[in-house]
Amino acid sequence: MQTNFLVIGSGISGLNFALNAASKGKVIIATKKKIVDSNTNYAQGGIAAVLNKTDDIKKHIEDTLKAGAYHNKKSAVKFLVENSAQAIYHLINLGVEFEKENGELKLTKEGGHSQRRIAYVGDFTGKEIERILIKRVKEHPNITILQNTFALDLITKEESCYGAYIIHKGKVEAILANQTILATGGIGQLYTSTTNAKIATGDGIAMGIRAGLKAKDMEFIQFHPTALDVQSFPRFLISEAVRGEGAKLLNHQHKEFTDPLAPRDKVSKDIYQELKKGPVYLDITSKSKSYLLGRFPQIYAHLTQKGYHMEKDLIPVTPAAHYLCGGISTDLHGRTKIKNLYAFGEVAHTGVHGANRLASNSLLEALVFSNQILKNLKTSKIPALKLHSPKLSNETKLAKKAKKEIQKIMWNYAGIIRNTKQIQNIAIPKMKQIIKDLEKIKGTNQDLAEARNMAKCSHEILNAASKRKKTLGCHTIERLGTKSNN
């Protein structure tokens, strides 16, 4: 197979780029499950943008920097915020119908924001954006969608990328491309407790590293404060917007213990510490059933199914791995150090999030940067390539065992509160052994490749965490006298 643009991943950034690129040439979208399977589909809250007369660009920039512990790349933050309103109107033009009041966009507020600036669609913003983008993608004659297609590795020659090896319909094939786009999402499945879709195994980051790219700020893993504390995988996320509309956080004594609208890293840490004493609850009983059904229909329905009624019950919550603030290093146009290879969305590190992401800046980042790439795109011809075809393996048992062990190590040693010595002396040696054990297995398949990718990303995270000796943002080193999280 050959195409002008190969997009690996089918979340908001991948689909949006595909639509933009389709006017320039042929596009193949390769997604490892169904096209709807992405973290975008799980995003409830909304998209932050400067749309209100009482708001301004400087305020949004400052909120983003403050949430990121001023570890952000300021030029990237400025670029993001200055293009935020344009990103919203881009979606509106595609057909996304954000909530309105008296003909104006209705805006909500979430943790870390000083203003109401979040455009939303009920409590299923990501799902609606994904639906519209998929509809547009399917309508375009220049776009081909390959579902259940797993990207194994990038095809490179002399520091240039020319596509990827894939597993498609039980065979290893090569897709040659003038431009290759990594839009594979995050790494939530590295943890036992996560809000992420099952596809989030760090594939794009691992492929990039194997091709010679550097990953940056991998230690900064954001844990969403309020996932439903009922055993499920992935955890059901209760949007920050619920707190934005007045929900309180209560401890086991039913007393408030933290500012529900503080940045996510602080709220997660506070909840984590309270959970050592007893359950933590989300309380939105001040609102009526009719209001909650209208504002949070998806959350209300799910909680009711689990036996909780938001208007009268306290909802048990717990933090869960949610978002990677780091990733493959790119510039403001998604370019990596490898020619013809781009990355955007959660797989990429643009520097906008710093040490902790501001709520509702993730969908915004995915849109803004995937809208910019084509402006500086230079097409290269595909040279003669010596392709190799990795052999497939039937081994899955060891891979699945390795995945569970990786999740256990990461939750225990690279979770909300960390111990540097334990990371260095226990977690890293264990992860190195898993990597060696997986390398001994001949051949590949999706389970093996995912396990190898998870181990590769986990080692990067652990290594970065071991080198950062002081607490910063969502990287928290335990203080003397406190117990570690294992």
For 2-68, the DSSP string reads: EEEEEEE--SHHHHHHHHHHTTTS-EEEE-SS-TT-SGGGG--S-EE---STT--HHHHHHHHHHHT
Cα separations in angstroms, 293 against 191, 288, 309, 311, 439:
32, 9, 10, 10, 51
Global pTM?
0.93
| 315-324 vs 281-283, strand pairing mode | antiparallel
How many Å apart are CA 19 and CA 5, to the nearest integer? 11
- Residue 97, burial from CB neighbour count under 10 angstroms (0-12, 13-18, 19+): exposed
Helix 446-467 vs helix 397-413: crossing angle, to nearest 10? 20
How many Å apart are CA 419 and CA 429, to the nearest integer? 15
Question: Annotated catalytic sites, by residue?
Answer: 264
Q: What letters, b where the CB count within 10 A reaches 16 and e where it falls short, cover 250-275?
A: bbeeeeebbebbbbbbbbbbbbbbbb
User: What would the two tokens of residue 82 be?
Assistant: 């200055």
> For residue 297, is the peptide bond before it cis, meaning its omega torsion is within 30 degrees of 0?
no
User: What would the two tokens of residue 194 be?
Assistant: 């996560």
How many Å apart are CA 234 and CA 244, to the nearest integer? 23
Encoded amino acid at 22, one letter = A
Structural domains in the chain, sorted by start: 2-219+325-371 (3.50.50.60), 226-321 (3.90.700.10), 396-477 (1.20.58.100)
What residues contact 151, with CB distance under 8 A and at least 6 apart?
8, 30, 32, 164, 165, 166, 184, 203, 204, 207
Residue by residue, pLDDT tens for the chain (486 residues) are 999 999 999 999 999 999 999 999 999 999 999 999 999 988 888 999 999 989 999 999 999 999 999 999 999 999 999 999 999 999 999 999 999 999 999 999 998 999 999 999 999 999 999 999 999 999 999 999 999 999 999 999 999 999 999 999 999 999 999 999 999 999 999 999 999 999 999 999 999 999 999 999 999 999 999 999 987 767 899 998 899 899 999 999 999 999 999 888 899 999 999 999 999 999 999 999 999 999 999 999 999 999 999 999 999 999 999 999 999 999 999 999 999 999 999 999 999 999 999 999 999 999 999 998 777 677 788 988 989 888 999 999 999 999 999 999 999 999 999 999 999 999 999 999 999 999 999 999 999 999 999 999 999 999 999 999 999 999 999 875 444 444
